[in-house]
Structure 1
Amino acid sequence: MRITTFTDFSLRTLIYLASLPPDQMSSVQQVSRVYNVSQNHMVKVVGKLKKLGYIHAQRGKGGGISIAQAPEDINIGRVIAQMENHMDGVDCNAPACQLAPCCELRKALMVGMQAFIAAMENYTLADIMTNKEQFSPLLFINQPEGLDQEMTGLEDNQNVATNKNLD
């Protein structure tokens, strides 16, 4: 099972925010720089994570984004299921498949997808961050102002990610 880029960056955003010191906020711009993804795409990711209650987002001066739940309360399987738009494995109608009336592939793929989600439901954000102290330097957390951009070599106008697989 391969998750979409949208879901991948949703999980990465949660990891990033959970890696921050308590009560520290970040920004969409910062997260997009760290992961080298377009800010427009990250706005969509953050919007959905906020809508689902995983993060806080506050606009304006002094605003930013932060984790809204304890990492041990964020279930990875649930996040994946909520972020993925197409968990049916295959679309037998695009284009229409002449085998659809008798083929069992769709049912088999659904069983596989359900097993994948069930396996991922055994993990929380805390479980996949047991080495949290190692994340901070990799994510440029608590670095001097501007070092994150300098070290990643990114400029704002270089944050480009294609829109393929961004469901």
Structure 2
Amino acid sequence: MQLKKYTDYALRVLIYTGMKHDELSSIKEISETYSISQHHLGKIVFELNKLGFIETIRGRYGGIRLAKKPEEINVGQIVRIMENDFTLLECFDKGTNHCVISPACKLKHVLNEALQAFHQVLDQYTLNDLIINEKELRHFMGIN
């Protein structure tokens, strides 16, 4: 299972803003910390704002911050929203399934079970769990 960079970057934005508590962050600051394109981060911030996970404050002294407490942001939920497609094999998509063994195949059941386990593990964690080692994270990000 491999997550898209979009999901990875969304989680990084949440981790960064989660560590800043109520302090505002900027896309530029996050971009420089993670060496990610500001343009790409702008799209992610826009979506996270639209979804209600972060809030954006416009203007000269504006920025972004979490719209919810870190313990209210579920990692599994974020991954499901950002990924939006967990079609692991052709047989997972009934509309385009052309596999002749699909009716008798057990592989799709095994992979579906693994996918469910993957989601169950992620559902056990919140953003707060990802920033519990804030001091260490701040050190590696160069945040005082």
Shorter-chain TM-score category? 0.7 to 0.9
**Equivalent in the alignment of 1:61:** 60
Compute the displacement of 1:140 (Å). Answer: 2.1
Choose from 121, 137, 143 the match for 1:135: 137
Contact 1:75 1:123 in 2 (8 A): yes
2:51 maps to which residue? Answer: 52
- What's the TM-score, normalizing by structure 1? 0.74
Q: Matched residues in 2 for 1:8 and 1:99: separation? A: 35
Relative contact order higher in (CA < 8 Å, ≥ 6 apart): 1
Q: What per-residue deviation string (whole Å, max 9, x for no partner) do you get for residues 90-126 of structure 1? A: 2457x87443643444443333222211111011111
Partner Cα distance (1:110, 1:60) in 2: 47
Normalised to the residue count of structure 2, the TM-score between the two structures is 0.84
Q: CA contact under 8 A between 2:90 and 2:99: conserved in structure 1?
A: no
The code of the aligned residue for 2:72 comes to D
Relative to structure 1, is the Cα distance of residues 23 and 78 closer, same or farther in structure 2, using a 3 angstrom cutoff?
Answer: same
Structure 2 CA distance, aligned partners of 1:59 and 1:91? 44
Which residue number in structure 2 is paired with residue 10 of structure 1? Answer: 10
Amino acid at match of 1:5: K
Match of 2:60, SS state, is: coil
2: CA distance, partners of 1:4 / 1:36: 17
Contact in 2 for aligned 1:9/1:45 (Cα 8 Å): yes
Change (3 A) 1:66 1:100: farther
Structure 1 residues 112 and 140, CA, compared in 2 at 3 Å: closer, same or farther? same
2:73·2:127 contact (CA, 8 Å) conserved in 1?
A: yes
Give 2:8's aligned amino acid: D
AA aligned opposite 1:84: E
Give the 3-state SS of the residue equivalent to 1:8 in structure 2: helix
Alpha-carbon shift at residue 23 of structure 1 (Å): 2.5
Q: Which residue of 1 aligns with 2:25?
A: 26
Q: Which residue of 2 aligns with 1:149?
A: none
Corresponding letter in the other structure for 2:121: A
In 2: Cα distance, 1:17 partner to 1:54 partner? 10
- Output the aligned Cα RMSD: 2.1
Unaligned runs of 5+ in 2: none
CA distance in 1 between partners of 2:51 and 2:77 (Å): 11
Report how many residues are paired: 140
Structure 1 segments of 4 or more deviating over 3 A? 95-108
